[in-house]
Amino acid sequence: MSAFTVKHSDDNARVGVLSTAHGDVATPAFMPVATQGSVKSLDPADLRAINARIVLGNTYHLYLRPGIDIVELHGGLHRFMAWDGPILTDSGGFQGFSLEHLRKIDEDGILFKSHVDGSMHKLTPESAIEYQERLGADVIMPLDVCVAADSDKAAVAAAVEQTNRWAERCKETHTRTDQLLFGIVQGGLFPDLRQRSAEHLISLGFPGYSLGGLSVGESKEDMYEGVAAAAELLPSDTPRYLMGVGSPEDLVECVARGIDMFDCVLPTRIARNGALFSRDGRINIVSAPHRRRDEPLEEGCDCYTCQTFSAAYVHHMFKAGELLAYRLATIHNLRFVLRLMEEMREAVANAEFDDYRTAFHARFVPPDQRARHEQKTKWLQSQGRPGA
């Protein structure tokens, strides 16, 4: 039986179900990021309340702290973090890109210096799979090589070939039948390199495919074009996972281009800075106009924060430096994104996605591209620290 079934499609947008050992996931789906086994400021009950169905952990960070042995000793990642739903773990390959000042890549793997204590470690394709098997995630990733958006074609081609070779080693190492190992398609913004990567990975027969090396500094237009071209290369009966994308406008546009799964730290990270999603765009809850607002953050929002507290109270929590501010803001932003996914699934199922997409863009005003690029650059530079 296939792990993925497409239920409805509307042009390139589609609705499906990903079946895992810990339950089914309706797609398109967004995965809140639990880098170290925790979505920052939330507990599992909060995640269930906002209807999160799958979360993402990071092998690199869990390996360094608390250590794979500790997680395994406590029954695996699900039991350790008290989350009984599906979990996807990244391999640590992205940290090989973002922690450039702390690592060295060779044929065998990634040699890196711990951002925690400065100790040296080697992550290989084989150990990346071993660690994820011991963590017990439902969906796991091979070790890959990601390069910057402005890399020249020779550097991107070398990353593709390295990723392909490592994918073979990862697939040979993987033994657990209750886990889904996805391939990661690289190639930057070069269509021929994306095709080379996709064809090789498809020949290996993965049950799902991820798109890496996008949303790493390129323009939105380039990212959308790259996503569309890469998605067309992938099998229609397997899930397509776009890594590291989470802006509402990007989610809508990439679902339109055939993407099924997403993850990103953006909703949680900006929440802790007081930037909250609304139908009209982002609002800055710490700004003066919210000081007296005796109404929810957003009218019609069904999240706990909006159903319980006024915007004035959330404003006060931030101004007072109360830790509750982070939880309330994170609940709102993640519920906004998860509700967006629910609405898109309904629109696709009813063959109304184009109307939904048009209505969304007519109202939602995203940050300007310069601000987006600056935020992305700061985040990439911060990835030595767990930033989900």
How far is 47 from 42, CA to CA, in rounded Å?
A: 7
Using the predicted structure, report yes or no on whether residue 106 has a pLDDT greater than 80. Answer: yes
Mean pLDDT of 81-106: 86
Ordered by where they begin, the domains of the chain are 4-264 (3.20.20.105), 271-370 (no CATH)
pLDDT given at position 100: 67
Q: What is the mean pLDDT of the chain?
A: 94
Instruction: Give the number of other Cβ atoms within 10 Å of residue 156's Cβ.
Output: 23
- The closest of 213, 231, 271, 227 to 388, measured between CA atoms, is 271
pLDDT given at position 220: 95
Q: Which residue has better confidence, 383 or 160?
A: 160
Using the predicted structure, report yes or no on whether residue 372 has a pLDDT greater than 60. Answer: no
**Active site residues per annotation:** 90, 263
Q: Is the distance from CB of 40 to CB of 334 less than 8 angstroms?
A: no
Using the predicted structure, report yes or no on whether residue 47 has a pLDDT greater than 50. Answer: yes
pLDDT digits (tens, 9 = 90+) for 209-240: 999 999 998 999 999 999 999 999 999 999 99
pLDDT given at position 337: 98
pLDDT given at position 385: 47
Concatenated DSSP letters for 161-215? HHHHHHHHHHHHH---TTSEE-EEE--TT-HHHHHHHHHHHHHHT-S-EEE-S-S
pLDDT given at position 1: 46
